């Protein structure tokens, strides 16, 4: 059986510069900034979390601000098929993950499981 779990809480920020948003959420949540520019493109910043917690990611977006979850999958293709059978829709493949939409209209990302560290 394929296993999946919540990997991240993602704060989608409709801003021109993610640095100010990162500073606000870091201070508001009492979490230091782990990486202010995760992919080197100015679109993602990560806040510190404990090893047993989903990580906190800020993402610069063009759509309205919201929060979404990332679901980590051992088998991306199998989980896409499983979730589609449950009524989810594929929206877009981005970099290395799928943006999906639940039957309730909520968007979420299905990502590959990270290697054990």
> In terms of C-beta distances under 8 Å and separation of at least 24 residues, what long-range contacts does 111-116 make, across chains too?
111/7, 111/8, 111/70, 111/71, 111/72, 111/73, 111/76, 112/72, 112/73, 112/76, 113/72, 113/73, 113/74, 114/7, 114/72
What's the structural domain count of the chain?
1
Buried b (16+ CB within 10 A) or exposed e, 28-59: eeeeebeebebeeeeebbbbebeeeebbbbbb
Q: Given this model, what pLDDT does residue 113 score?
A: 83
Full domain range(s) for residue 89: 4-112
Q: Tell me whether residue 117 is in a domain.
A: no
Q: Tell me whether residue 41 is in a domain.
A: yes
pLDDT in tens, 16-52: 989 999 999 999 899 999 999 999 999 999 999 999 9
Band (104; pLDDT cuts 50, 70, 90): confident
Among 34-38, 65-69, 111-115, the minimum mean pLDDT is found in 111-115
User: Domain of 8: which CATH number?
Assistant: 3.10.180.10
pTM across the whole model: 0.80
Q: Tell me whether residue 14 is in a domain.
A: yes
């Amino acid at each position: 059986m394929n296993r999946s779990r919540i990997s991240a809480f993602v704060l989608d920020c409709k801003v021109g510069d993610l640095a100010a948003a990162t500073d606000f959420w870091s201070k508001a949540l009492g979490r230091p900034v782990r990486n202010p520019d995760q992919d080197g493109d100015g679109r993602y910043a990560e806040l510190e979390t404990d090893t047993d917690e989903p990580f906190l990611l800020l993402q610069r977006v063009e759509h309205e601000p919201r929060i979404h979850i990332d679901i980590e999958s051992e088998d991306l293709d199998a989980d896409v098929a499983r979730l589609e059978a449950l009524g989810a829709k594929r929206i877009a493949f981005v970099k290395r993950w799928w943006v999906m939409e639940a039957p309730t209209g909520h968007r979420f990302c299905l990502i590959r499981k990270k290697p054990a560290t």
